[in-house]
Amino acid sequence: MVTRFELPSIKDGSDVGAHAALSSGLFDKPAVSDAPPPLTVPASIYPEAPVATASPMAFAGADWSVVKPQLDGATAINYSTASENAAAGVEPDYILGTDGQMRPNPKKTAPNPDGSINIQMEGNGQQGNQDKIEALKSASENQKASIREMIRYFQKNNPNASVPTEWLWQLDKQPDLPTPSSSRPDTPAPTPRSQPQPEAQPQQDFSPRRSSAPSSPGGYRGPSGPGGGMSPGASRRGGDSTPSYSDRPARQPMFHTGRGDVPPPVAGDLELKGPPTITPEKIDQVLKSFNSPASGLGQVIYDEGVKRGINPAVALAFFVQESSAGTKGVAAETNSWGNIKGDGPAGSYKGFRAYNNFEEGVKDWYRLIDDKYLAPQSEGGRGYSTLSQVIRTYAPSSDNNDERGYVANVKGMVEGWSKDSKPANG
């Protein structure tokens, strides 16, 4: 699974006007249901940065006079694995070895058409021999040292920007180590996504401590926004009758697969209630562009939106914003449309509501938004009507979210998809 941050294509520093393109590739993250708590890396822990022309130690194996212009002008920097690149049929631009050095890939003869850079991380596969544990730990630390070099370079060129959360996850994740008592390389089969196993609710907040705004080493920044949320153990909001249910989404980070149909962000606000601006066919087209496990539910998503009076394009945009259409994060295990805390129809998975399928998940999301956000206060809701009002509670800035970026991303998707749709009468 590859995770990625995108860099805007203009250089005006705007959080909203920039094109937060979400196209192919991405940072490598462990294929687990939720990310570990990201490591907060204050700039003060780093030594004084060298002069701008100095080569980061990580690129000691490459010609810095060639590498620097590529980094500064890159539209995206993708961390990947050999298996992911083989499956995609692509060649990486650089190989990040287990010694922490990035070296040019001699097989790469031409730059990527989209201007991105692909950095393949070696030695990330599951190992099964106990005698490799120390080697794996050493390789992991070497690669983390290399990523820290990239962070230093980023901070030097982006003095007022936050380090992308995805980079911090790379620093915080642990290598895949074999069980000391086992000599078998096999790993247990993953729990079926349709039957997530109940687990005790975690006791720590997995909220990212840094913004996940797409940024470039050259100094550009665009909008972003993980889902808002409630810390485990926090009190319920909105008066829901289900004791273990939280009406705010989990603080799960937003992951872009980079494969999907994602129009650029648009500044402004949006009414959630209203007629459909998207067709069932277009919904299915967008889901298929992500290889989403919810593909084929276009008519259900459309009909449920019409039933609730909520534009189904908004529901689809939230799904893409929260989990790249169910392909990333805990939603891939829970069938959740919006990463909601508590017990669901299929129980709980790592403290999150689990559903038997995405049809259940999207219907519950519509119910949440309609009953707890848009309904009048006299009926137990908050009386909101606009996207910005909802996001202020759903993904508040007090939880380190970029509210304006979240709104711009959702609004951009809704308006962009409408241009390709001829909505049926709702």
Q: Which of 109, 237, 223, 125 is nearest to 178 (CA)?
A: 125
User: For 167-199, what is each residue's pLDDT tens digit?
Assistant: 665 666 665 555 444 333 333 334 444 444 433
Distance CA 315, CA 356 (A): 19
Amino acid letter for position 252: Q
Q: Among 214, 211, 219, 193, which residue's Cα sits nearest to residue 334?
A: 193
- Tokens of residue 42, six digits: 């204050």
Find the range with the poorest average confidence among 19-23, 202-206, 369-373.
202-206
pTM of the full structure: 0.46
Helix (H) or strand (E) holding 360: helix 358-368
pLDDT at 10: 38
Per-residue model confidence (pLDDT) at position 166: 56
How confident is the prediction for the chain on average, in pLDDT?
A: 68
With a cut of 90, say whether residue 252 has pLDDT above it. Answer: no
d(CA 328, CA 1): 8
The domain locations on the chain are: 2-172, 280-418
Tokens 């993980």 appear where? 226
Mean per-residue pLDDT, 276-288: 95
Is the CB of residue 121 less than 8 Å from the CB of residue 80? yes
Q: Which pLDDT score is estimated for 308?
A: 95
Question: What is the pLDDT at residue 41?
Answer: 43
pLDDT of residue 398: 85
pLDDT at site 161:
63
Tell me which of 1.10.530.10, 3.30.70.380, 1.20.120.430, 1.10.8.80 is the CATH number of domain 280-418: 1.10.530.10
Residues 6+ apart with CB under 8 A from 277: 311, 313, 414, 415, 417, 418, 421, 423
Distances in Å between the Cα of 141 and the Cα atoms of 95, 132, 173, 351 are 16, 14, 11, 30
pLDDT digits 0-9 by tens, 313-345: 999 999 999 889 999 888 889 999 988 878 888
In this predicted structure, the answer to whether residue 347 has a pLDDT above a threshold of 50 is yes
Per-residue pLDDT at 387 exceeds 70: yes
Does position 238 have pLDDT exceeding 80, yes or no?
A: no
Checking if the pLDDT of 72 tops 60, the result is yes
The Cα–Cα gap between 336 and 349 comes to 11
